[in-house]
Amino acid sequence: MLLVNDVLGKVELENLYSRLINDESWYLSRGSKPTDLTEGTFLGLDVYDENTIKEFWAGYFESVLFRIIDKCRDQNGVELPDRIKRIHLVAKQENANVSFHTDHNDPRAISLIGLLTPTWETAWGGEFVCGDEVVNHTPGSFVCIRSNQSHNGFGPNQKTPYWRIVVNYILME
């Protein structure tokens, strides 16, 4: 697992967060188990899927990808692919936890998960877990893993003044 820090700054995150929480395209039935809509569901927003632009946000998040690629190269010496398979957004409130899951079965697929909430306290929970590694995201940071690795992004463990919003990219090599 790689951590890419400081991709998005505070002012950009504040503006982005404000616009995202007011977007009318969110749906309420997102979950890691599509057949179970009674437990572990959270808000979802599909932005881009298989070369189909689903939302206004696709252009913005595509441009963010190039910042992530540059930062990953500079911070970690790793080259990421730039072919987007999917971009989804997820918003969670207190105890909106999901099951461990994989994003894609292809071993060449890469997942990038970034925290878009402008302020986040570690005490609020929301850890990202992949294998034995646990990351407490900081706003504007991204985690990079193989999409076929089992992982989980937990929701807040208490009431918070913000939704915990993350963006999830799947890239193909």
pLDDT tens digits, 97-145: 678 999 999 999 999 999 999 999 999 999 999 999 999 989 999 999 9
pTM here? Answer: 0.86
pLDDT in tens, 144-162: 999 999 999 999 999 999 9
In this prediction, residue 19 has a pLDDT band, given cuts at 50, 70 and 90, of confident
Residue 84 has pLDDT above 70, yes or no: yes
Q: What is the pLDDT of residue 58?
A: 87
Q: What is the 3-state secondary structure (H, E, C) of the chain?
A: CEEECCCCCHHHHHHHHHHHHCCCCCEEEECCCCCCCCCCCEEEEEEEECCEECCCCHHHHHHHHHHHHHHHHHHHCCCCCCEEEEEEEEEECCCCCCCCECCCCCCCEEEEEEECCCCCCHHHECCEEECCEEECCCCCCEEEEECCCCEEECCECCCCCCCEEEEEEEEEC
